[in-house]
Amino acid sequence: MKILGIEFAPLNVPLERRLQTLAAAAWFVVLAFGSFFGIIITGYLFFTSYWWLSLLYLLWIYIDSNTCEEGGRYIPWVQNLKWWYYLKKYFPTQLHLVPDFTLDPKRNYLFCCFPHGVLPVGPFTTIQSPHSEFHKLFPNFSVKLVILSQNFLMPLLRELAYGLGCISASSKSLDYVLSSPEGGQVVILMPGGAVEAYNSRPGQYKFVVKNRKGFVKVALKNGSPIVPVISFGEPDLFDQVQGPTIRKIQEFLRGILGIAPVIFSGRGFFQYSFGVVPRRKPIKTVVGTPIELSKVENPTREQIEELHGRFKQELVKLFEEYKYKFLENPEKTQLELE
């Protein structure tokens, strides 16, 4: 039903689908604006009789500042929220493994995921989330999602990040997890980072990887196989407002804030034309074959370049093979590496 050009959702939408939409809306609002809300709430308490709560909490953030670089911590009740189940079902998302895919429980792995998207959904719902297929297939592995270090300084939002098993995006943090002698660790990294979010628009697959080689060095130092991962459908969740002037402003703000501010539009809760809710599009996350490597404590530039080249080749190969299964116009869709 359209009114003034706005397409509204039917009134008889089942409750299950409403809950899925609510879960997706809450996920994106919290991730996009959670830092702002946390700062406002904590700051407001300073001007009330509960000022001491804010003071104690800020002291706790200071004391707890290194946890994100030392493996993080899980919070069971956060892990068990029904929220993650409805979020996964909303799109829905599905995990696909290449034939004969196996993981050695005595080793640690670095999953390098593309594309980042406006806010990455595929890797979280299919690998990190407690409701993911990955957890069912590999229950003995502990999964750590890498996010920007700044998030662990944000009141309230940091607790959600910790509860989900997130860790800081620093070499120290990655080394801590990947050097675990017991093995059984999976680190989910998006090498393209926040900058890759600029490339997220429907039908476009442009991965930022050519000059991203730090993850290769970390993998070599720890002897951790690199696993290419691609989420088909991730760019289709939002439109973006883009242009040369906007890009300059975004880069200026990124230099100050450390994050890539994007102007995006999806759908609303009761209408499909605009809003901050991601569009209900299927996402297929494909996990490729682990790239084996030998541990090198002090990798040379040549060794890093060689492994980086292998990774790019495997990434392109994975995309070309699976785009015919999961994209509507595979012949017209080309992967760009920048």
Domain boundaries, the chain: 14-337
Q: pLDDT tens digits, the chain, 338 residues: what are they? A: 666 667 777 778 899 999 999 999 999 889 888 888 999 999 999 899 999 999 999 999 999 999 999 999 988 889 889 999 999 999 999 999 999 999 999 999 999 999 998 888 999 999 999 889 999 999 999 999 999 898 899 999 999 999 999 999 999 999 999 999 999 999 999 999 888 988 888 999 999 999 999 999 999 999 999 999 999 999 999 988 776 777 777 677 666 666 667 777 888 888 878 888 999 999 999 999 999 999 999 999 999 999 999 999 999 999 999 999 999 989 999 999 99
Residue 227, H or E segment: strand 226-232
Closest CA to 73 of 136, 155, 161, 138: 161
Q: Cα-flanking dihedrals φ and ψ of residue 185, to 5°?
A: -115, 135
**Which of 48-57's residues contact partners 24+ apart within 8 Å by CB, and which partners?**
57/155
Q: How far is CA 96 from the centre of its chain?
A: 17
pTM of the model: 0.92
Residue 114, H or E segment: strand 109-114
CA distances from 89 to 93, 141, 216, 287, 328 (A): 7, 23, 34, 20, 21
Q: How many angstroms separate the CA atoms of 170 and 153, rounded?
A: 14
Burial class (CB in 10 A: 0-12, 13-18, 19+), 306: middle
Q: How many angstroms separate the CA atoms of 10 and 14, rounded?
A: 10
At position 209, the amino acid (one-letter code) is V
Angle at 29 between CA 32 and CA 186, to 5 degrees: 65
Angle at 332 between CA 207 and CA 24, to 5 degrees: 55
Contact 283, 234 (CB under 8 A): yes
Q: How many angstroms separate the CA atoms of 159 and 141, rounded?
A: 22
